[in-house]
Amino acid sequence: MGESIKAERIDSLSTIGLIAPAGPLEDSLIEKAICDLKQMGFWVKEGSSLFRKHGYLAGADEERAADINSMFEDKEVQAIVCLRGGYGTLRILDSVDFKNIARNPKIIIGYSDITALLNAIYKHTGLITFHGPMATSDMFKGKDSFGMKYFESFLMKPAKQLEILNPEGMEVETVFPGKGRGKLVGGNLTMIAASIGTRYELDTKGKLLFLEDVGEEPYRIDRMLTQLKLAGKLKDIKGIVFCSFASCEAQNKSKSLGLYEVLGDLAEELKVPAVMGYMVGHCTPNITLPIGANVFFDASNKKFIIEESCVL
């Protein structure tokens, strides 16, 4: 894939399409999320499945997929924000109209289960998508000013170059030294592993890979990384940025490898630049990252730089 497609930037009066491609949420929390977006100045257009509940899904697959397609087609909507993760995005990828998205490029942002949608859109259209806060995240509640800085820097006031830095006191560790340059892909490890063997699996060749997860013991992280390795997805990467792995400690530490050992052993085996500790994913702050953007990465000196503006 050559040059990425970019959406138009948004401002504080833009119309946000709010959708729920995965799990449901209590009505009161959805209403609070809508209120939070409006308090930031945005106009909000609600997806038709937003208040739907179908077991662990926010409505039927057809409804959730239709919301994605209609929000991209809707000329009034400038950006699409996902409500939450959970489970369900993989189920609807075959119903997403990628040709429609390519004709109507817009900002779309989310993380966790939404990883599958973000990477599928980038893979099948070339549109830069954004791994970052959802409508229920602390940032939209006014509790993550650090995360807001990156949200604004990528989506509202884009710079030609932007270095990703953690808050002061939250250190990034070099796992394996070296440097690389490539397009950025990645997100939630569980979702990336689940896509292997499908037409939506991640294209990692020549790419910089970032990964995050939550609530997985080290052996499960090991298993998913091994799956990626055996599937050839770690063969030609330019580097790995290990981000937040919240609550991923072993229950019985005396009988387990530690998370750092699992990640370090893999980087050592692959001989690729790697770092650990960026506040991206299931954490506060939650730094926004652009999937499909050109990136320079220097693990030795802990430099992680987005080398282009990611919206027009």
Catalytic residues, which ones?
A: 112, 212, 282
Q: Which amino acid is at 41?
A: G
**Parallel, antiparallel or unpaired: strands 274-276 and 173-176:** antiparallel
Measured CA to CA, the distance from residue 122 to residue 219 in angstroms comes to 30
Q: Using CA atoms, how far apart are residues 258 and 144, in angstroms rounded to an integer? A: 29
Query: Going by DSSP bridges, is the β-strand pair 289-291/129-131 parallel, antiparallel, or unpaired?
Result: antiparallel
Q: How far is CA 137 from CA 24, 59, 229, 285, 288, in A?
A: 15, 21, 32, 10, 12
Q: In whole angstroms, what is the distance from residue 250 CA to residue 215 CA?
A: 10
**In contact, 123 and 201? CB cutoff 8 Å:** no
Q: CB under 8 Å to 137, separation ≥6 — which residues?
A: 144, 147, 284, 286
Tokens describing residue 154 = 């990528």
Tokens, residue 66: 């239709």
